């Protein structure tokens, strides 16, 4: 192997191509292939390496609590989870179409786990994702306001293809927190997807938000309650995707 070419490949950060080239030199498997065939294998290896590198960056950026995949889900557990609908959601079309997904259920039923599974699949499909516990997000807002970086933080969060709000509305929102969340939702409205994992039934969201006007606006950005029928008591996980045409997947 030409040492000068090796150094050039390293300088160009083509480590996948260099690795594949080394394999071709040390293994007799490739010696009877044409130049174009061998070169295409080099390019393919480099392409795969970079794709995996980007995936790992997206997963790290997402800050997910679990690396589980669909294969790790036990669909036999009695929690009202439709396998066919969940697999449909795992395909990521709702993120591509900039829908909102709501995961509702009691504590311990696996909302965070299922949200992480969907987020992992979205990362694999090339979407940028960020997982946030709602309480941590509100604290991050306060810290950003203190050091003057709040506008930058809002723009940064608005840029993700999918934002996950875990423990959504677990604690009642004061007017300022509600206004800050509304500003973020406005930046993302019809431009990006969001997932809301919560133990609070949707028909109780309004009372969790202190200011009625802000509550109306926040719910309008997420779901038009008047067009969706929710059971009075939520005992199982409910998955519902909504777009501005109010199309739903339940």
Write out pLDDT tens, residues 80-128. Answer: 677 888 888 888 888 988 888 888 888 777 888 889 999 999 998 999 9
Residues contacting residue 163 through CB under 8 Å, at least 6 positions apart: 129, 130, 132, 157, 188, 192, 193, 194, 195
Provide the residue ranges of all domains of the chain, joining segments of one domain with +: 3-61, 64-249
Give whole-number Cα distances, 32 to 17, 28, 38, 136, in Å: 19, 8, 10, 59
Q: What is the C-alpha to C-alpha distance for residues 105 and 197, in angstroms, rounded to an integer?
A: 8
Q: What is the C-alpha to C-alpha distance for residues 239 and 226, in angstroms, rounded to an integer?
A: 17
Binning pLDDT at 50, 70 and 90, where does residue 225 land? very low
Q: Which residues pair with 195 in a beta bridge?
A: 101, 164
> Which tokens sit at 68?
């589980």
- Residues found in the chain: 250
pTM here?
Answer: 0.75
Q: Is 233 helix (H, G, I), strand (E, B) or coil?
A: coil
Q: How many C-alpha atoms does 1 have within 13 Å on its Cβ side?
A: 15
What per-residue confidence (pLDDT) applies to 93?
A: 87
Is residue 208's pLDDT more than 90?
yes
User: Which CATH architecture describes the domain 64-249?
Assistant: 3-Layer(aba) Sandwich (3.40)
Residues 169, 198: contact at Cβ < 8 Å?
Answer: yes
Binning pLDDT at 50, 70 and 90, where does residue 164 land? very high
> Which tokens sit at 91?
């395909």
What per-residue confidence (pLDDT) applies to 248?
A: 33
What per-residue confidence (pLDDT) applies to 217?
A: 93
Q: In which order are the strands placed within the sheet that holds 162-166?
A: 129-133, 162-166, 193-198, 100-104, 238-242, 248-249
> Which tokens sit at 89?
């959601």
Average pLDDT value over all residues in the chain: 83
Q: What is the C-alpha to C-alpha distance for residues 197 and 106, in angstroms, rounded to an integer?
A: 10
Matching residue, tokens 């965070």: 112
Binning pLDDT at 50, 70 and 90, where does residue 78 land? low
Q: What is the C-alpha to C-alpha distance for residues 47 and 50, in angstroms, rounded to an integer?
A: 5
Q: Across the chain, how many H-helices and E-strands are there?
A: 11, 6
Write out pLDDT tens, residues 1-33. Answer: 688 888 888 888 888 888 888 888 888 788 888
Nearest to 192 by CA among 216, 162, 168: 162
């Amino acid at each position: 192997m030409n040492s000068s070419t090796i150094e050039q490949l390293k300088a160009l950060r083509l480590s996948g191509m260099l690795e594949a080239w080394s394999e071709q030199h040390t293994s007799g498997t490739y010696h009877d292939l044409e130049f174009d065939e061998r070169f295409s294998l080099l390019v393919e290896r480099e392409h795969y390496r970079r794709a995996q590198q980007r995936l790992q960056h997206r997963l790290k950026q997402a800050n997910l609590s679990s690396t589980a995949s669909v294969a790790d889900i036990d669909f036999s557990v009695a929690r009202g989870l439709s396998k066919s609908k969940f697999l449909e959601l795992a395909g990521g079309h709702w993120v591509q179409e900039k829908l909102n997904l709501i995961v509702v259920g009691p504590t311990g039923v696996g909302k965070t786990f299922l949200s992480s599974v969907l987020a992992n699949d979205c990362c694999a499909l090339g979407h940028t994702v960020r997982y946030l516990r709602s309480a941590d997000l509100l604290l991050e807002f306060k810290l950003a306001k203190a050091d003057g970086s709040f506008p930058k933080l809002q723009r940064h969060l608005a840029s993700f293809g999918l934002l996950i709000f875990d423990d959504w509305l677990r604690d009642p929102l004061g007017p300022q927190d509600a206004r800050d969340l509304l500003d973020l939702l406005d930046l993302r409205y019809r431009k990006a997807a969001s997932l809301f994992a919560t133990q609070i039934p949707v028909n109780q969201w309004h009372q969790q938000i202190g200011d009625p006007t802000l509550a109306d606006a926040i719910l309008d950005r997420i779901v038009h309650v008047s067009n969706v029928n929710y059971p009075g008591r939520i005992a199982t996980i409910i998955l519902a995707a909504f777009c501005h045409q109010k199309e739903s997947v339940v």
